Structure 1
Amino acid sequence: MQKSWIRAIIAVAIIGIIFGWVRHADARSEQEALQLLNTVKPYMMSQQQITFKYTGYYGTCAGSDSKMLQAGKKLSLAFDIPQEENLSESNSHSVYSAKKEAAPGALVTLTVASPEGSNECYVVLRLDASEHAEQSDLMNWQERAGDQLKKLGIQGQWNVMVQGFVKEQQQSRQNSTSDLVQEIAQALKGKTVESYSDPKTISLSLASDEFQTSIKSGNQTVNLQLALHQESTTGKWRLTAGTPIITMEY
């Protein structure tokens, strides 16, 4: 059941991107990312994973490897990422992929693909950071990347996620893990519009006036998602939060 729920979340993200729920990036996106991190991180131990991901469309690929490579190299230059001379393969499809360390503990990845049935190039700009990365460096990178995306006319949306194990003192002062996730939801000023739970997993989809970034799930507007999952081997609870949704496994 849990895997089906995760697949459903990822499917919503992919469908949303393809059918145009993405919005323009602006300074508001940076404020929302900072608000999410500052609200959720106090509940976590230092071992954290933070992901900034921007998805959108740029130029014309139309299934052409040469056009994909050309677009990838141009975008690499724009984002100061070393250019790759050849395409790589992902899930039996050709893609352009280039990487660079953006800051200590933070790796930026640029991916360009040509979706079947679409003339446009599909672009993913992603920053993955560990607990060793300075939050100020991450926010500065997002601001610079956002400015460059705007200059290039790439219309899309930021997806920001943070994941880490819950602090023991946070668990011990709560009656249940359900109380803990509800407390975090309240701290984000979120109203639960969808939920899922089993003995080892709790997940909430939230609507919050504090966040403008959103997707539609049926008739509901979702601005944030929270998930708690207990590891089978250690018994530790792993907290994951994302705006507008979680697109990593939890």
Structure 2
Amino acid sequence: WQGDWISNHEKPADVAAQIADQLNIPTVNKLVENGHTVYRSVRHSEDLRIRLNVMERQTGQWYVVVQLESNNAGRERLIQLHKLCAEQLKSMGIQAQWNTALQRSLHTKESKDQLLKLTEASLAENISMQAKERYTDATTVAISYEAPELPLMIQSGEHQVQMQMAVHEDREQQNTRITLGFPLITIEY
């Protein structure tokens, strides 16, 4: 979840503390990064990770980011927290939008191009999608798709895209990572 918040006499430290309290994460710490005040809290557990940043853009204008990460074991809690974030941020007047990314590493003999085609075929059984933009290098192929039935959209050049997929060969780890982003991938792939 991320979005703008304008302080109307509320103290950003209090707003950050309230969000942290609702998400049951540790007390926020005040930092200064690149000359801007940041209120941050992080909680790590075995199956769930939550990060909160309330960052000053300029006097009275703030940017709020709540990042939720989970492995499969924490999926149900992640869904609950996602709904809680939606309600909490809206009630505080934070104009937040969400995006999501899914990632899986595989040990496979298939090339990145073969994995891309297999994943596209599997997704196409449930989602009407059309490739709009493509990036390829020696270890990565990434494609942005138009998929109108999906709820989130972003303008990318001349195209409206709702999904992005990347397949990356990690030669160091000797595996291949498949990453899906809705509407875009916002994590490292």
| TM-score of the superposed pair, with normalisation by structure 2 | 0.83
User: Relative to structure 1, is the Cα distance of residues 210 and 104 closer, same or farther in structure 2, using a 3 angstrom cutoff?
Assistant: farther
Q: Percent identity?
A: 27
User: Relative to structure 1, is the Cα distance of residues 185 and 89 closer, same or farther in structure 2, using a 3 angstrom cutoff?
Assistant: farther
Shift of 1:147: 1.9
Is 1:206 the counterpart of 2:149? The answer is no
Is 1:115 the counterpart of 2:57? The answer is yes
Q: Tell me if structure 2 keeps the 8 A contact 1:181–1:228.
A: no
Is 1:148 the counterpart of 2:95? The answer is no
Is 1:182 the counterpart of 2:116? The answer is no
Q: Deviation string for 1:138-157 (max 9, x for gaps)?
A: 11221122122222232221
Alignment correspondent of 2:21: 77
1:121-132 mapped onto 2 (5 Å cutoff): 121-131=62-72
CA separation in 2, counterparts of 1:105 and 1:155? 28
CA RMSD of aligned residues (A): 2.9
For residue 176 of structure 1, give the secondary structure of its aligned residue in structure 2: helix
For residue 177 of structure 1, give the secondary structure of its aligned residue in structure 2: helix
- Which protein has the bigger helix share? 1
User: Relative to structure 1, is the Cα distance of residues 67 and 235 closer, same or farther in structure 2, using a 3 angstrom cutoff?
Assistant: same
CA separation in 2, counterparts of 1:138 and 1:71? 22
Shift of 1:182: 3.0
| TM-score of the superposed pair, with normalisation by structure 1 | 0.65
For residue 115 of structure 1, give the secondary structure of its aligned residue in structure 2: strand
Shift of 1:218: 1.8
- Which protein has the bigger strand share? 2
User: Relative to structure 1, is the Cα distance of residues 201 and 74 closer, same or farther in structure 2, using a 3 angstrom cutoff?
Assistant: same
Q: Tell me if structure 2 keeps the 8 A contact 1:107–1:127.
A: yes
CA separation in 1, counterparts of 2:147 and 2:53? 31
User: Relative to structure 1, is the Cα distance of residues 204 and 185 closer, same or farther in structure 2, using a 3 angstrom cutoff?
Assistant: farther
For residue 151 of structure 2, give the secondary structure of its aligned residue in structure 1: coil
Which amino acid in the other structure matches residue 118 of structure 2?
L
Q: Tell me if structure 1 keeps the 8 A contact 2:90–2:96.
A: no
Q: Tell me if structure 2 keeps the 8 A contact 1:68–1:95.
A: no
For residue 160 of structure 2, give the secondary structure of its aligned residue in structure 1: strand
User: Relative to structure 1, is the Cα distance of residues 81 and 234 closer, same or farther in structure 2, using a 3 angstrom cutoff?
Assistant: closer
CA separation in 2, counterparts of 1:59 and 1:74? 16
Runs of 4+ residues deviating >6 angstroms:
none
Q: Tell me if structure 1 keeps the 8 A contact 2:36–2:57.
A: no
Which amino acid in the other structure matches residue 164 of structure 1?
R
Q: Unaligned regions of 5+ residues in structure 1, if any? A: 1-53
Q: Tell me if structure 1 keeps the 8 A contact 2:135–2:143.
A: yes
Which amino acid in the other structure matches residue 124 of structure 2?
Q
Shift of 1:92: 5.6
Q: Unaligned regions of 5+ residues in structure 2, if any? A: none
Q: Deviation string for 1:21-53 (max 9, x for gaps)?
A: xxxxxxxxxxxxxxxxxxxxxxxxxxxxxxxxx
The count of aligned residue pairs is 188
User: Relative to structure 1, is the Cα distance of residues 182 and 77 closer, same or farther in structure 2, using a 3 angstrom cutoff?
Assistant: closer
Which amino acid in the other structure matches residue 106 of structure 2?
V
CA separation in 2, counterparts of 1:214 and 1:242? 11
For residue 149 of structure 1, give the secondary structure of its aligned residue in structure 2: helix
Higher relative contact order (CA 8 A, sep 6+): 1
Alignment correspondent of 1:137: 77
CA separation in 1, counterparts of 2:20 and 2:6? 14
CA separation in 1, counterparts of 2:24 and 2:173? 41
Is 1:97 the counterpart of 2:36? The answer is no
Shift of 1:59: 3.2
